Structure 1
Amino acid sequence: MSQHAGPRAESTHHRLYEFAKAALTRIFVHPYATVCELYCGGGVDAEKWDEAQIGHYIGIDGSSSGISQRREAWESQRKAYTADFFELDPCMEDVEIHLKDQTNPADLVCCLKNLQLCFETEERARKLLFNVSSLLKPGGYFFGITPDSSTIWAKYQKNVEAYHNRSSGMKPNIVPNCIRSENYMITFEVEDEKFPLFGKKYQLKFANDISPEIHCLVHFPSFIRLAREAGLEYVEIQNLTEFYDDNRAQFAGMIMNFGPNLVDPRGRLLPRSYDVLGLYTTFIFQKPDPDVAPPLTTPLLHDVTYIQDEREWQVPVTTVWRDDEKSVPVEPPPGLGKISEQKGILGPGPAELRFSEAL
């Protein structure tokens, strides 16, 4: 794995994020695959596709400058793979119209940034997932990285609880809206103890960054429900610290290529790396292939588990929950075993239970 250069790669945050993207690419991407990258703008890490020996690349981004940068990055390479670029926002427009006669062209669809921006409204998230489904061949995977909303919300709720314990009711109508660590600060735009399913905005600012990033929390049960509606089956949502620990034997040497002071001599994440990486999660879905195996079944969850955890999320009492929104997996989904067998990296373990524990 090549050393990543550039000023953005100097910070711990960007170095760890680049590592996570490279690690996921190594797991899923196979030689000669057709890969579609959503929100591909920029060319900072474009070489990873060349290293993966893909056959064809489809880049989609809503920014004309982002598409231009990505195209220039491809043209400056050895051109070991062919490429198409489309300027469109996949959570606003129909991808099929732009791809014309190409039906299910991609073996893999990835979204390594900006998924959280699609959760501003349910309509945007639904459009994105239906576009993903239209892009994927049967049996293909949709994977990526997004801020871990369950981790962020748990930190926020702890702040709220600590504040109320300290204030002793002196200021009952004021809710703290910040999460702080030595590495970052998260500020919610609205001081509120409720977590709506869509549109919960916050700012994330890392210590070395000039300006904050604007995000929306991704409500994972809604993510799974909308994906299922689009014909995609849930495989796994796993915090990046657990993802790294589960695969440390494969990735400990690789992470050292992204700079010093990220892990200890035994390959364990140093506290600062753990703090930063823990803000993010992987997500994996699969489009079932009825010709190869029976369609994947969505894992059933006991409602009791979710009701107990609902206090942490503090969803408004006026919200009517659908049955499938209250479901969270208790056992490893069938699709996970397939990845383990094919890729030899993702293995079974307690991490598969994390989704029900964290929400």
Structure 2
Amino acid sequence: MPAFDPVRDAVLNSPIGQTAPMLPLPSPSSTLSSPLASPSLAGRRATDLSVLLNSDPPPPQRSSSLSHLLHDDQLTASLPFSRSKSLFSSSPSPTRDRSRPSSSSSCTANPSMPPPPPPPAQSTVPYNPRVRITPPTSVMIPLSPAELETFKDYRYRGRGSAQLANTKKRKLSEEPPDQPPAKKLAGDVGVVVEHYNSRPDVGVVQRLESPIIGLKNFNNWVKSVLITKFAHPVLAASKSRHNPNGHRGGLRNPGAGKVLDMGCGKGGDMSKWSKARVKELVGVDIAAVSVDQARSRWQTLRGPRFAATFAALDCYTQPLTRAFPPDVLGTDEYDGGAGLTGDPFDVVSMQFCMHYAFETEEKTRCMLENVSRYLRKGGVFIGTVPNAELLLQQLDELPQDAEELSFGNSVYQIRFEQRHERPIFGHKYWFYLRDAVDDVPEYIVHWDNFVEMAAEYGLNVLYKEDFHTVFSQHEQDPELGPLMIRMKVVDANGESSMDEDQWEAANIYVAFAFEKR
């Protein structure tokens, strides 16, 4: 048997063309120095894989001269094997990849396929828009803080978007790990919470457009009177002063005193406490969205800020420990050595919200416990509450045959559900205040009963006057009188910014102050 020769066997077994008859195979004893030189190649086709797959017609006959074969590159590329390469080298021929058919070979072999489309022509017109909404220099100018606050208003994005934007993850320093999950409240409490959560946190510019801006300025001035007369002296005498090594939150300021703002709402009194130079403030409210807005207002305060901690909690049914750790609340019974608790509060403030606790006696006692437990001896409890005597007097003056037990004017409306039954707790009425309160349930605070209950928690009354009396007592005060001009309650000539209806609405509230024994 002749020696194994892969080149010879591949050539002898290649398909036979139609241009010449097949010649007999050589005898086993014959030897071929080169299968390409054998006459048995006549009419045989190349075994290149691309040629076999595409079934190309046989190439035209070429000259068989040696010089032509040596210089014909096309013939060399079409041959399946090169003896000088295949037998002595494992690398494929550089002129063709035999592993798979190349796409270029297939496209060339199939003339029916259309040629590829030419690339699109490049435009030579430069980018130069003629019409612009804003000048080019305004594109990269960032929004100012005031503009950012303006566009946070739900009127620009919708109420749902505003609530979603306000549900951010609170920082660990601002929210303790045992913060109870928010739950949907039902009944009168749910109505109140939904109302205050849906109220927009308008900026300074929008606030000036309020139809009752004079009444709002006057109410703020009354709160400033309470803070100036009763909170300032207590804060100045506080043991909670500026620590040169810093304090909670890493903030430093020369302030003194610690304030608990129960029912902080959207943080409307933040600037008042800043001007009072407090060291620390703890804000809590039942409306979670309002608490987030109060936190944002604190973060945008100008100048050195006091330290602040905020949480959403129903202070009338749950203790403050459900939302704040002991080092935030402090206690008046401070051990002085172990340092396990922080400083107690010097001031507790409840503005226009305490009356919601008088739905039941249990809620009222829970509220008083939260006020007194963390208030230091000598500390003050200040606030504003509806004037029960005036409201009941107006109810008695209604005609006996009145179909609806309501009274008010263009600014406010009050509607009672019953005339004769007047329980100590749960005496409900519905209250509407233009551009402020949209017909929510509130409860009468019977003053004498409130004073008696407060005394059980170590709180003694210092002050109680209706808003009209507060004005008459302090309009000539050397400090609080000029403050009315700065707060735009009156102008430089003493002219009030309130009309008669707003002035009447102002007197449905009283201001009070208690001191802890």
Question: Same fold judged by TM-score > 0.5?
Answer: yes
1:102-181 paired onto structure 2 within 5 Å:
102-104=330-332, 105-159=344-398, 163-164=399-400, 176-181=404-409
The structure, 1 or 2, with the larger RCO (C-alpha pairs under 8 Å, 6+ apart) is 1
Which of 283, 286, 290 is the equivalent residue of 1:62?
286
Q: AA paired with 1:76?
A: T
Rounded to whole Å, the distance in 1 between the matches of 2:226 and 2:359 is 25
1:100 aligns with 2:326: yes
Larger Rg: 2
Matched residue of 1:237: which SS?
strand
- Normalized per residue, the structure richer in helix is 1
- How far apart in 2 are the matches of 1:267 and 1:230? 40
- TM superposition shift of 1:274: 3.2
Count of residue pairs brought into register by the alignment: 273
Could you tell me how far 1:143 is from its partner in structure 2?
Answer: 0.6
Could you say which residue in structure 2 is the equivalent of 1:258? Answer: 487
Q: Helix, strand or coil for the counterpart of 1:211?
A: strand
CA offset digits 1:259-313 (Å, max 9, x no partner):
366897377986445312211101211101xxxxxxxxxxxxxxxxxxxxxxxxx
Match for residue 223 of structure 2?
A: 21
How far apart, in 1, do the equivalents of 2:492 and 2:504 lie?
12
2-structure distance, mates of 1:234, 1:181: 32
> Which residues of structure 2 form unaligned runs of 5+?
1-202, 237-255, 333-343
Matches within 5 A, 1:22-41: 22-30=224-232, 31=236, 32-41=256-265
Amino acid at match of 1:82: A
Residue by residue, what CA displacement relative to the aligned partner does 1:34-62 show, whole Å, maximum 9, x if unpaired? 11100112134421111111111111122
Conservation of the 8 A alpha-carbon contact between 1:62 and 1:88: yes
* Distance in 1 between residues matched to 2:443 and 2:215, nearest whole Å: 19
Q: Residue 224 of structure 1 aligns to which amino acid in structure 2? A: V
Q: Which amino acid aligns with 1:248?
A: E
Closer/same/farther in 2, CA of residues 7 and 21 from structure 1, 3 Å limit:
farther
Give the counterpart letter for 1:244 in structure 2.
F
What percentage of aligned pairs have identical amino acids? Answer: 23
| Counterpart Cα distance in 2 of 1:255 and 1:209 | 21
* 1-structure distance, mates of 2:489, 2:471: 17
CA distance 1:278–1:264, change in 2 (3 Å): farther
Deviation at 1:185, TM superposition (A): 1.3
Measured after TM superposition, the shift of residue 113 of structure 1 is 2.4
Instruction: Kindly report the root-mean-square deviation, in angstroms, between the aligned alpha carbons of the 2 structures.
Output: 2.6
Letter in 1 for 2:204: A
2:468 to 241, 260, 263: 241
Q: Is the 8 A contact 2:411 2:501 kept in 1?
A: yes
Is the alpha carbon distance of 1:132 and 1:177 closer, same or farther for their aligned partners in structure 2, counting shifts above 3 Å?
same
Richer in strand (by share): 1
Corresponding residue for 2:150?
Answer: none
Shift of 1:72: 1.5
**For residues 234 and 255 of structure 1, what CA distance do their matches in structure 2 show?**
26
- TM-score, normalising length: structure 1: 0.69
**Separation of aligned partners in 2, 1:260 and 1:21:** 13
Cα 1:17–1:61 change in 2 (3 A) is: same
Which residue of structure 2 aligns with residue 282 of structure 1?
511
1:182–1:149 Cα change, 3 Å: same
AA aligned to 2:259 is: V
Q: Alignment partner of 1:29: what SS?
A: helix
SS in 1 for 2:221: helix
Q: Deviations over 1:79-121 (max 9, x none)?
A: 4311222322211111245342421410010001211111111
Relative distance call for 1:202 and 1:56 in structure 2 (3 A) is same
The AA in structure 1 aligned to 2:394 is K
Partner of 2:58: none
Alpha-carbon distance in structure 2 between the residues aligned to 1:186 and 1:149 = 12
Q: TM-score, normalised by structure 2?
A: 0.49
